[in-house]
Each structure stands twice: as C-alpha cells, then as structure tokens.
A and B are shown apart, each in its own frame.
Chain A
C-alpha cells in the first residue's frame, strides 16, 4: 500500500529519522496558515509547495514549486490544488491534486555546500534479505543512474539474525564521502531509517533525495513509503493512512467484493480463477489480436454472485468489446460455474458485448451443454486454444 509523502515523513519522523519539516493543507488559505506556522517552528523564510499524489516525478509535472513570500504560497497553492497533475508515473490521464505539503526550504546557504544522495530499503528477493541501496547521485532518476553509472550505486545487505550492524551504517556514510558532523548524522539517519522499515513492515522505502544541508544536517527531503499489504493486520494505525482517492474507483469496488481486479487499457475483458492463469489469459488475448482490458482473479469460489459482480465490474469499462471467461474447474465444478454465468447474464439483462466462456476441468462437458442450451449470446469452449480462436473471430 502506498501512502503520501507527508504521511511517509510523519511515519519516518516517529522513528527518529530527520526530515524536511512541513504541514499539509487542502486550501490556499490553510496553506498560508501552514507557511506561517512553519516559519515559527523552523525559522524558514521560503517555502516549498508540494503536490501530494501517489506518483513520482511531481516536480517535472509542475507539482513542486518554491515560494519566496506568503503571497506566492497562496498563489502557487491555488494553482496546484485542484490541478490535474501529469507526471511520467501517472499516465496521460494524470491525477487530481487534493492536498499540498507546505515544506521548509532546506537548500539555504551556509558553511558547506549542500549535497544530495539517494537511499532506499527493500527486499533482495534472491537472498531473502533486506538491503539498503544508496548512491552519491541523489535527486535524479535512480534507474538512469543504474544505467549510466552503476558503480555509483552501493548495496548493504542486512543479516536478519543481527539486524543492521554499526559498521554497516558507518560504511554507508563513508561511501557517501561524508566526514565530521555530517558523517555522524548520516550514521544516525541510516539506523533510524532501517529501524522504521522493520517496525512498519514496509516493502519499500525510497528517499530521494537525502540531503546534507549547508550546516551538515542529514534529512529526508522526499519520502516514498510502500507498506506490505500482508502485514497491515498488525498495523491498524498505518492502514488508516490509506487514501482511496488515489486508487481506481472500480478497483476499490472490486476489492470490497473480494475480487482481485486491475484496470488496464485494452479492449478485451477477462475473468479468470487464479492469478497465474489470469496473466496467461491476458497473454492469450494479446496473441489473438486484442489487448487485455483488465486483470481479474475471481478466486476459488466462482459462484453466481461473484461472477455477476465480476461481469458488472468489467462492463463498467466502455472500451471492452468482448469478454473472455476462463475458469479451470478443479474443486469447483464447471457445471456450477456455467449455471452461475447463465444466471448472472440473465440478471444483468442487457449485455451487448460477445462473451466467450471457456470452462475446463470437472464436468466441463456438462458445463458446455448448459452454456449452449441457455440460448444466450455466449460462445463456449473447452480447450484454451479453442477459446483463443474464438477471441480472434469475435475481434475480426
């Protein structure tokens, strides 16, 4: 589960990670109040207005601006709040900005030059251990750094038996070229960051940039926190940070019905039991000349109620020109699923798009008969190849 930058920073701060301070606001007036309060708290005289959406690259889309006066805070906040922010990660449709973070200016001049680093914490799947990945090249797209200057990306793996060891935190600070107070601050920062990662059951932390200020403080200027959804049951406080406005409304609705649905851009909808078979069915659609309109796993109990809900969800997408139902009945009997499909079809009433139903497994022949004798505009198949062929015919 993703959370906003302002929430991520609050979470990190709770574990002693130094951050760029800020106050969130949802109107220009509140933004000005936030700016005033922030000046009292931090002494900042400039402010950064940052759009709060669940996507990176906000600066590139015009969602992050520097304000040098309270008037500018108001002006920029009015512009950013309510804007449809398009970034490389939002897709062309963009995302509506509902909140801005008014943050302190941390690039103030001072005794030393500020420096930006990159730091993330994540699972190394091949070893089953967490790693801290970091780079001297902060403030830019890390994938570009990995491509152009891979030698500037460092990794530190954490042994789960011991946790992060002091020498590892020191090594990170040394590799980032730090000394004196900045070195000490970085060691503290790394320790607090890793503790926060463990204690929150996160699946990704990305801090880009980590800033060394001109007075040798180390702070998180941006923060991306991704929480392990499987662990949210033990963190009700973190689950409360979910912002459903950031999610696709149809996906939210599907989730409430316990359907695993992901909206895609294609023209052929699909309904499948099992995640792997669902992905494979999307691939079949593509090979048959279509594009998948969604991923949808109905799970182990494909009864009439769930099938109907799934149909209704798929049909919400106006781009859907055909639907492929692919169920491998194991413990679930295909004839039951077929009856469920027929009932759902009748209940919905006015389905205009062709539906191809492929039922394989227990009682597949009986299922095919039920579909064929229903008199509905439904094509049936038993073999996957047959189903693919029918998708091709329907699209032709």
Chain B
C-alpha cells in the first residue's frame, strides 16, 4: 500500500525525448522508478534511454501496460497530452508543465469527468513515494522513508517541509505536489483524503498558499473525518492583495483567500497551523509524540 504510485507503477514519460523529459526521466530511473517507455509523436519505434518510444499514449499502454504518465510537454500542447493520456486509460497523470492557459484547463477538467484517471497538477513538482517511485522533478534524496504524507501547492516548499520532517526524526510516506494553478486535477481535500485512507501514513502535512478556497474545503473535510494529526502552513501571509505571487493561482482576490482567513478556518477545524514555515517538522514531531 502507498498513495498513488509505488514500485509496481509502470510509468511512461510524455515529451520523453525533449530536454526536460530526458533529464528528469534519467533522474527518475536513477531513483528506481519503473519507467517503461515514453511518448513523442513522430519518434515512435526509436529507443531513448534504453526504453521504447511510442507515437501515441494508447500504443505505449498496449505495449508496456503503463498505468502512470508524467507530462513534460510545452504549455500550448499540454492540455491535449493530458486528455490523450486519459483516453488511453492512464490511471495517474502527472502534469509538470507550467503556463497552460486556463481555457484549456477548463476543457481538460470537463473531459476528465467520468474517466478513470486522476490528474495531478499541472504546474506541480509531481509525486514521490519514498524509496519506491519518483514521478516528478523533486530531489529524491530529501524524501527519506517514513510515515508522514505531504500535500502541497508548491515545489521547493514541499522539499523544505520534507527535509524538516526527516530532520525531526520522522520520514515521508508519499508527497504530492498538487500545483499552483487556478484549475488543478487533484485538490488539497482529495489528496488529504488519500492520506487519511492510507495505512502507511500516520500524519499529514498540508501546505497551501493564498488564492482559492481549497484549503478551507480540505479543513472542513478534516473536521468531519479526522483520524490522523494534520499540521498546516499557508504561504503568503505578507502578500498584498491583487498581486500575483509567481503561481498563476496565488493571488488574493477577496477576503476569503488571504492567508489569515485560511489559517483561521484550518485552526477551527482542528488542524495544527504553524505561523512560521521553519517549524513544520518540529510541529509534526510534537503532535505525534503527544499522541503516542
């Protein structure tokens, strides 16, 4: 058991032969991820990194039995790649691409309804199940095996949190980077739910940021269903309203999507909210020792 990906996952890389795809596929293989091939339209039949290249995702699925895909396709074509993966029956689609137009993502979201695919991202670092499979761009060595799950909208802040958790004497079961765009495939609440149901996860770190209502939604769900300690942090307490902070989705539009408002709701729902991102690991260690 583990969340979303494990050592049995058969992973293909869309945009396999491009610069990003090649670099990160190599890193993923080095980590031990079971990469079974890749897709680059027009390059089917070739071999890349000793793995077969296919023209289409469905061809790749037919020949390799792939059930997970990671996408490194430029923003103008990424939405199409996600839908192609879903059509081919890929169960977990991880889209790393940053900068996909919102209109394209509205279409993707609609397309995925009723399909048996879960999308992670876009504009995310991916998923890692420690010491089993890395389907993403994160530095693998940071994520030492343990029993804490991490869900986060941002990349380097996820690594920061994982590093702190490990240094606090704990470790990571799976970390999911859900992405910082206005429309993403898997919400904070859905990721938290996966961890609540995972027997290999004892505690959850939930990292959000300004913009949108996903953290509040997750917090309300946690209040109703809580069985494990949750430590939360919201980045952007000092961000001014109306300014986009790097991520397309990180913008304070109304009173409800400020960091303060989100932190308040999270506290009211029983989550241990830290003001400083420097004490995420410590807070989780304290929570678990109190419980034990």
Contacts and interface: CB of A to CB of B under 8 A. Distances in A.
A328 B278 contact: no
A361 B27 CA distance: 16
A123 B245 contact: no
A361 B246 contact: no
Nearest to B217: A126
A123 B107 CA distance: 13
A187 interface: no
B99 A260 contact: no
A281 B154 CA distance: 13
Contacts of B217: 126
Interface in B216-275: 217, 233, 235-240, 242-250, 254, 259, 275
B235 A228 contact: no
A297 to B, nearest CB: 5
Interface in B155-189: 155-160, 163-164, 167, 180, 182-183
Interface stretch (B3-11, B33-41, B205-213): B205-213
Interface residues on A, range: 35 or more
B157 A330 contact: no
Contacts of A260: 246
A362 B110 contact: no
A129 interface: yes
B142 A361 contact: yes
Given A284-B276, A287-B275, A295-B246, A277 B156 contact: yes
Given A274-B154, A283-B238, A330 B209 contact: no
A228 B101 contact: yes
A331 interface: yes
Contact of A125 (B103, B142, B249): B249
A388 to B, nearest CB: 6
Contact of B156 (A143, A274, A283): A274
B130 interface: no
B152 to A, nearest CB: 7
Interface in A137-178: 143, 160-161
Q: Which 3 pairs from chain A and chain B are nearest by CB?
A: A276-B154, A275-B246, A330-B139
Given A126-B217, A160-B107, A230-B102, 20 more contacts: A125-B182, A125-B213, A128-B109, A161-B110, A201-B101, A228-B103, A230-B99, A230-B101, A230-B248, A264-B238, A275-B250, A279-B245, A280-B235, A295-B243, A330-B139, A330-B142, A361-B159, A383-B167, A385-B278, A385-B279
24 contacts: A123-B182, A125-B182, A126-B212, A126-B213, A126-B217, A160-B106, A160-B110, A161-B110, A233-B76, A274-B157, A275-B246, A276-B156, A276-B158, A276-B247, A277-B155, A280-B233, A283-B236, A283-B237, A283-B259, A295-B245, A297-B246, A329-B139, A361-B139, A361-B142
